Chain A
Amino acid sequence: MGRSEDNKLHIVCCVKQVPDTAQVKIDPETNTLMRSGVESICNPYDLVATEAAVQLIERYGGKVTVVSMGPPQAESVLRECLALGAEEAILLSDRAFAGADTLATSYALSQAISLIASNDPVDLVLCGRQAIDGDTGQTGPGLAIRLGYDLFTYVSEIVGVNLDENTITVKREIEGGTEVIEGRLPALLTVELDLTSTRYASLPDMVRALRQAIKSWGANDIGGSPERFGLKGSPTSVKEIFAPPVRKGGLVFDSTEDKDQAIEDFLDTFFEKEMELLVELLGSEGG
């Protein structure tokens, strides 16, 4: 797979619609999730990936295609990406995809991207580092392996693309520091939240995004083995779900009435009860 003749970039961004976990609260009485009225949003990491892709296009020329797998309502996140500057949007929606774990998801996405690339060669795939609902961070890397692309995770900066040499240089945040690494195109990057900040779409762009047609592909459109999609293609299954253990509150010192006394009381109690910890922490000064 090489770049199209015009020497411009074709970037595919994979985005996911997720529940806004910031709106989810735990009912303190029943200790269950209160999800009513929780909005669906575009995974914030994926918005950063799309913004980064659009910036690359502004620098090097080319086009951005966004792909999402999800129910028909996931169209809204694709429109959000179109408003940011993506040119084309494809929704993978089929009951056959339901219940997919990361292995089955990366399979369906790889089928779709291979199909996209067969018409218009793909140079780069950008994914968010992880989705905020599942937090696995596995779909992007799995997709890279299936496509046979060079994989760069935890990307904090895209240093540059060399269209003549067909290479890309990125910075990755890893244990102990930052790695600067160069790989060949096509490549897949998973991006950090602070790679760039997302622009505000202009009104005309939003209107254009709302009017644009979104392609919808099902299992038959993208080909592949039906037993590798969705639930059937997912080796992992959830056995049970339970509420996380909740820490119990401790001592309360109310300084709204007698300020000095409450703080003194707190410090006395703290230094008495936590002496061992303080000695460990403050070492020579404390002990």
Chain B
Amino acid sequence: MPKNSKGREIAEIIPQKCIACQLCIGQCPVSAIDMDGGIARIDPEACIGCGKCFDICPVEAVTFEKPRKKKMVGIGQKTRPLDDYRGVAVFIETHEERGADVSWELVGEAKELAEKLETRVLGFVLGTGIETVANKAVAHGCDVVYMVDNPLLQTYLSKVYGRILVQLCDQVKPEILLLGATPLGRDLATVVATRLETGLTADCTGLDVDAQNRLLLMTRPTFGGNIMATVLCLNNRPQMSTVRPGVMKMPEIVSNGRGEIRTLDFEAPDEVLPRIIDFIPKAAEVEGEDIAKAAVLVVVGKGACDARHLSMFEELARLMGGTIACSRPVVEAGLLPYMRQVGQTGKTVAPKIYIGVAVSGAVQHLVAMQGAHRIIAINIDSNAPLVQIADYALIGDYLEIVPKLIKGIEARMRSRTG
């Protein structure tokens, strides 16, 4: 058992396990813990061996051998009566009088969570001309839909939408509030969580509940997708989460949905609001080139970053009914624009077929494309990380492989149609 010079039994950090969350630093009563090179370090001479760092550490990176049971820190310090809060609410995002796909996915997920909690699914619909959306919310499984229909809500302004959602939460008191992790949803969720002083977990890819404690278990990728973290919001309500589109299953429509729709009034704020001067929709052409929506992506990697061969990759993409994308070094080299970058600092994609040409597969790239249905990797290096996870790996020089693929695919298509 480690002891310091004063003979105290002390706690130690296991560097390989430390995730640099710094929770122990805030917990240490004698300020004995510091961050050192991204890892917590306990000063053995300052440590008094209280074990508080051991209790709080979420990943068991602290060794502490005094006989003692790990305590659950936090639970039991209720700051407000949580029992008033019931129901799983979903903010239903609307664009041009249509509900966003991710919102319906969330209603489906909310239904499952609500069943485990034995509570109701609530829908919050804001906008103008949204009655069909409210009806659709009922058809997808909402028990009660709260609708605020007003011409002033035609376009999203965080101030206005935020205020209404805060009012709704104060009035309806849902225990859980889910939003899609879209630009609008992530913006709005933060506004609401800050006003309500409650916990918000961004961009979740998994949700579950601890029904006994009525806690939402929110799982999300963090640290550039290198680790998954499950996050709790113990003492504040609602427990809020934004959820990545396309992760949850689309629920089936029930024609005999029995939910009711309640219409609420909207008071126009009397302050000066931002003014939307213009909206420039993405041209249909550009929209078709949106790598986040393409069914097939031919992804150019650092090893194929050569302007002379771009047309060849485009041809392969066209042949498969897709478009081209790239990894970060290709954008940095100026060969393709940022809008085509797949990766942590680019776009997250989940095409039906992903074809990586000389993409080595850095972690930041992999986290943004692992949702692809099928992965094909073309690479000279059979040890490249992308090759390791590919469903089909073609080892060799892409300059020889790609033209043959194009010919081979064309021939097979011809023989099928012919």
Binding site for B on A (CB under 8 A): 19, 21-22, 24-26, 28, 32-33, 35-36, 38, 40, 44-45, 71, 73, 95-96, 98-99, 101-103, 106, 132-138, 141-142, 145-146, 150-154, 169, 173-184, 193-194, 230-232, 234-244, 246-256, 259-260, 262-264, 266-267, 269-271, 274, 277, 280-282, 285-286
The 3 closest A-B pairs by CB, nearest first: A21-B224, A235-B199, A255-B396
List 19 additional contacts besides A259-B396, A282-B321; criterion CB under 8 Å.
Answer: A99-B21, A99-B25, A135-B344, A138-B190, A138-B200, A145-B190, A151-B159, A177-B279, A235-B235, A237-B23, A237-B234, A239-B232, A241-B227, A252-B395, A253-B392, A254-B382, A254-B396, A256-B395, A267-B405
Instruction: State the Cβ distance, A129 to closest chain B Cβ, in Å.
Output: 10
Residues on B with beta carbons closer than 8 Å to the beta carbon of A153: 158, 183, 186-187
Taking a contact as CB atoms under 8 Å apart, the answer to whether B390 and A250 are in contact is yes
Judging by beta carbons under 8 Å apart, are A181 and B275 in contact?
yes
Cross-chain contact of B190 among A45, A141, A267 (Cβ < 8 A): A141
Q: Is the CB of A26 within 8 A of B226?
A: yes
Contact between A281 and B320 (Cβ–Cβ < 8 Å)?
yes
Interchain CB contact under 8 A, A267 and B412: yes
Q: Which of B95, B367, B393 has the most CB of A within 10 A?
A: B393
Q: Does B312 contact A (CB under 8 A)?
A: no
Interface segment out of the listed B27-35, B63-71, B135-143, B303-311: B27-35
Asked if A286 contacts B416 (CB within 8 A), the reply is yes
Measured in the bound complex, the distance between the Cα atoms of B35 and A35 in whole Å is 14
A180 touches B25 (CB 8 A): no
B16 and A32 form a contact (CB under 8 A)? yes
Interface residues of B in 360-418 (CB under 8 A from A): 362-364, 367, 370, 373-376, 380, 382, 387-397, 400-401, 404-405, 408-409, 412-413, 416-417
Contacts of B199 in A (CB 8 A): 101, 103, 234-236
State A252–B279 Cα separation when bound (angstroms). 48
Check A151–B26 contact: CB distance below 8 A: no
B395 x A182 contact (CB < 8 A): no
A and B contact pairs by CB, cutoff 8 A, 13 listed: A19-B38, A21-B364, A99-B23, A103-B198, A135-B222, A138-B200, A142-B190, A236-B200, A238-B23, A250-B391, A253-B395, A267-B405, A277-B374
Cα distance A173–B100 in the bound complex, in angstroms: 17
Contacts of A26 in B (CB 8 A): 226, 363
Q: How far is the CB of B312 from chain A (nearest CB, A)?
A: 15
Least distance between A235 CB and chain B CB atoms (Å): 3
Residues in chain A near residue B159, CB distance under 8 A: 150-151
- CB contact between A142 and one of B193, B221, B280 (< 8 Å): that residue: B193
Chain B residues touching A, majority SS: mixed
Q: B354: shortest Cβ distance to chain A, in Å?
A: 11
| CB-contact partner of B191 in A145, A169, A174, under 8 A | A145
List of B residues within 8 angstroms of A183 by Cβ? 274-275
Q: Identify B396's interface contact among A25, A181, A256, CB under 8 A.
A: A256
Are A263 and B344 in touch, CB under 8 angstroms? no
**Cβ distance B238 to chain A, nearest Cβ, rounded Å:** 11
Are the C-beta atoms of A240 and B223 separated by less than 8 Å?
A: no
Question: A145 is contacted by which of B34, B162, B408 (Cβ under 8 Å)?
Answer: B162
Of the candidates A141, A180, A260, A269, which one forms a contact with B194 in the assembled complex, judged by CB atoms under 8 Å apart? A141
A102 close to B413 (CB less than 8 A): no
Task: Assess whether A230 is in contact with B202, with CB atoms less than 8 Å apart.
Answer: no
Whole-angstrom distance between the Cβ of B380 and the nearest chain A Cβ: 8
Q: Kindly state the separation between the CA atoms of A271 and B374 in the bound complex, as whole angstroms.
A: 13
**A132 and B224 within 8 A (CB):** yes
Nearest Cβ on chain A to B411's Cβ, whole angstroms: 9
The reply to whether B233 and A95 form a contact with Cβ atoms under 8 Å apart is no
For B376, the chain A residues whose CB sits under 8 A away are 270
Contact-residue bracket for chain B: 35 or more
Contact pick for B224, options A103, A133, A176, CB 8 Å: A133
Q: Give every chain A residue within 8 A of B353 (Cβ-Cβ).
A: 274, 277, 281
Contacts of B362 in A (CB 8 A): 22
Partner of B197, one of A28, A36, A103, A280: A103
CB distance from A79 to the nearest CB of B (A): 18
CB distance from A28 to the nearest CB of B (A): 8
* List of A residues within 8 angstroms of B23 by Cβ: 98-99, 231, 237-238
Q: Which residues 314-373 in B have Cβ within 8 Å of A in the complex? A: 320-321, 338, 344-345, 352-353, 362-364, 367, 370, 373
A255-B363 in contact (CB<8A) = no
Cα separation A236 to B190 with both chains bound (whole Å): 13
Contact A249 B388 (CB under 8 A): yes
List of B residues within 8 angstroms of A253 by Cβ: 392-395
Closest to A174 in B: B183
Q: Are B191 and A136 in contact (CB under 8 A)?
A: no
Q: Residue B202 contacts which of A137, A178, A256 (CB distance < 8 angstroms)?
A: A137
B278 in the interface, Cβ–Cβ < 8 Å?
yes
Instruction: Tell me if A174 and B184 are in contact (CB < 8 A).
Output: yes
Q: Is B172 an interface residue (CB 8 A)?
A: no
A254 touches B274 (CB 8 A): no
Contacts of B275 in A (CB 8 A): 181-183
- Residues from chain A with a CB closer than 8 A to the CB of B416 are 285-286
In-complex Cβ contact of A247 among B73, B234, B375 (8 A): B375
Pick the residue among A179, A244, A256 that contacts B367 (CB under 8 A): A244
CA distance A249 to B389 in the complex (A): 4
Q: Mark B214-255, 1 if CB is under 8 A from A, else 0.
A: 000100011111111111111110000000000000000000
User: Which residues of B are found within 8 Å of A243, using beta-carbon distances?
Assistant: 227-228
In the assembled complex, B269 has its CB within 8 A of some CB on chain A: no
B183, closest chain A residue (CB): A174
Residues in B neighbouring A44, C-beta threshold 8 A:
345
CB of B80, distance to nearest CB on chain A (Å): 11
Contact B22 A99 (CB under 8 A): yes
A37 to chain B, nearest CB (A): 8
- Give complex CA distance A237, B234 in Å: 8
Closest to B75 in A: A237
Q: How far is the CB of B284 from chain A (nearest CB, A)?
A: 11
- Nearest residue (CB) in A for B343 is A22
| CB–CB A133/B222 < 8 A | yes
Q: Is the CB of B222 within 8 A of A250?
A: no
Whether A246 touches B393, Cβ cut-off 8 Å, given contacts A135-B344, A241-B229, A281-B352, is no
